[in-house]
Amino acid sequence: AQTVTQSQPEMSVQEAETVTLSCTYDTSESNYYLFWYKQPPSRQMILVIRQEAYKQQNATENRFSVNFQKAAKSFSLKISDSQLGDTAMYFCAFIPRGGGATNKLIFGTGTLLAVQP
């Protein structure tokens, strides 16, 4: 079975500081995609960043970057210069290349990040 685990239910960070959210996953697939989605209080599910498993280079999007360790099946999200607007639930998600048997995104249970002023 393919699973995604986020071991930090809640985290807190001071404004302008850096925070890292952890995610591990389990799969026997060799080609897949990993994502971080953000869900603010407005409840919209917003794509933050995408990583392709066959690419060794870690993805970056402005203040957001990932540390992808394929052998360890680890996919952490680093948020630099945290802003109050980063306060949200963050979900790690996985999908095999081609969608796999279920064609669904497999989500972790989320990490609630609070950015303190």
Partner 1 sequence: DADVTQTPRNRITKTGKRIMLECSQTKGHDRMYWYRQDPGLGLQLIYYSFDVKDINKGEISDGYSVSRQAQAKFSLSLESAIPNQTALYFCATSEGLSEGETQYFGPGTRLLVL
List of residues contacting partner 1 (CB under 8 A): 33, 35, 37, 42-47, 50, 52, 91, 95, 97-99, 102-105, 107-110
- Apex CA 48: angle with CA 59 and CA 54, to 5°? 35
Cβ distance to partner 1 smaller for residue 47 or 84: 47
Cβ distance to partner 1 smaller for residue 18 or 44: 44
Residue-wise over 46-83: b if at least 16 C-beta within 10 A, else e? Answer: eebbebebeeeeebeeeebbbebeeeebebbbebeebe
Instruction: Report in angstroms how near the CB of residue 34 gets to partner 1 at its nearest.
Output: 10
Cβ distance to partner 1 smaller for residue 1 or 71: 1
